[in-house]
Amino acid sequence: MVTINALDLAFTPALEMADLVRRRQVSPLELVNIYLERIERLNPKIGSYFTVMAEQAIADAKVKTETLVNATNLPPFFGVPISTKDLNSVAGIPCTYGTKALINNIPEYDDVAIAKIKQAGFIILGKTATSELGSFPYTEPTGFPPSRNPWNLEYTPGGSSGGAAAAVAAGLSPIAQGSDGGGSIRGPAACCGLFGIKPSRGRVSPGPAGDKFNGIATNGPIGRTVADAAALLDVMSGNVAGDPYYLPSPECSFLEASLQQPGHLRIAYSTKFLPIGEADATCKQAVLQTVKLLEDLGHTVEENCPDFSGLIEPFQIIWRNGVAAGGIPPEMLQPVNRWLMSKTDSAIDYLKAVAKMQIVSRQIVSFFDNFDVLLMPVFLHSPIRVGEWSHLSPEDIFENIVQWVAPCPPANATGQPAIAIPVGFDSKGLPMSVQFVGKPAAESTLIRLAAQLETAQPWILRRPNLDNI
């Protein structure tokens, strides 16, 4: 077995890591020890993990290392470490949902997505930090250390999959499972300079749990490369009996799609989100420089955008009632979640909101009859500082959230696939990113396009400087 630099291994893409394991160039136990050492040293300052599963990860890695000696036909990610989000159940491990009220909640089952991750050969390093109940686009739940952006520790890594993105960006995990109910994969991926996929509704099973949010939330991957995220989406995809939403398997795997050219695409773009407003200068720059690159690559690009204004009210009604359905006593929650719970609606108003969201969603999806892809900002302004809004009233915080994350929820409402992809860095050293939304069930189109952009402007060569934190 050859010696490979531990720092380089920590930032090695997951697929390359799997190949190193299969070729016996590195062992699963060596990989786990590298990440556990980095987690022990860096996590107290970054706050990416709530629970580190050191004992379980080492035991799993030892078994896999021994198995590797004579193994054949290994699963695709045999021996590769991964992190999972603390909104998802891993049997025997606390699942807090970002609230101290559930600190002793230890599920006896794996979520379907987690079971598939285990079946693919991954070794789970731990449960990553999330905002309380997954409600916020920053990760600062009461009773836990705040998650920080590895590129600049004064800033948020986003939320609610903030810990997942911070872990991957800091080299505390090669790849991560996240979830997205209003931008919770795309926002953290954007804040941390990573590639994130919000899959189509029905692509990834929500089982065995029920759906309290009318299909707006889904599990998905966060990775350093398009191929890594595509391959993890392959792992998590698929339905189980009784799922409320269902999609057939794609014609080819998402990993195969990442190796294919996208062909000529019709792409709409906008830097505005009416009636909220226009993106700030940095986010607007990210979109416009991507427009130029897309044109240089031969795509047809024109400024155009659906009308999203009708989604805002019904989406908020569905979201706040989903928060209330969690069943946590209000006095045990942060002020914004308490405020949201105080505004819960009647069953009649909720069902009216669902119907309205479905009607507006049909109108938005029809926009894609004339376009393959929509390019937008991920958020309307750059990342906030950790604690920046903590002095504000719940009403003002909620309004600030709406003003920030507005471009993300529409894809959750319609169930369309959407991705966040890095495009450079701003003057504060923070990553810049853009969002692409695709036609229903057309993740492969987005993945092909993302891979083309990744080749044209590679981002994986950059790493945050963590030497002095």
Examine the residue annotation and report whether 64 is marked as an active-site residue of this protein: no
Mapping DSSP to helix (H, G, I), strand (E, B) and coil, where does residue 432 land?
A: strand
| Integer Cα distance of 440 and 371 in angstroms | 12
| Integer Cα distance of 96 and 90 in angstroms | 11
Instruction: Determine the angle formed by the axes of helices 28-46 and 54-67, rounding to 10 degrees.
Output: 160
Beta strands in 305-412 (DSSP E): 373-376
The closest alpha carbon to 149, from 40, 81, 48, 44, belongs to 48
Task: For residue 73, count CB atoms less than 10 angstroms from its CB and return exposed for 0-12, middle for 13-18, buried for 19 or more.
Answer: exposed
Name the CA radius of gyration of the chain, rounded. 21
Active-site entry in 27, 83, 85, 237? 85
**82 and 229 Cβ atoms separated by less than 8 Å:** no
**195 and 422 Cβ atoms separated by less than 8 Å:** yes
The first and second tokens of residue 165, run together, are 């993105």
Task: For residue 145, count CB atoms less than 10 angstroms from its CB and return exposed for 0-12, middle for 13-18, buried for 19 or more.
Answer: middle
**225 and 453 Cβ atoms separated by less than 8 Å:** no
Active-site entry in 83, 184, 237, 444? 184
Non-local CB neighbours of 468 within 8 Å, separated by 6+ positions:
none
The vertex-328 CA angle with 157 and 94, nearest 5°, equals: 60
Examine the residue annotation and report whether 270 is marked as an active-site residue of this protein: no
Examine the residue annotation and report whether 160 is marked as an active-site residue of this protein: yes
Active-site entry in 27, 83, 135, 160? 160
Q: Which residues pair with 300 in a beta bridge?
A: 266
What letter does residue 137 receive in the DSSP assignment? Answer: S
Catalytic residues: 85, 160, 184
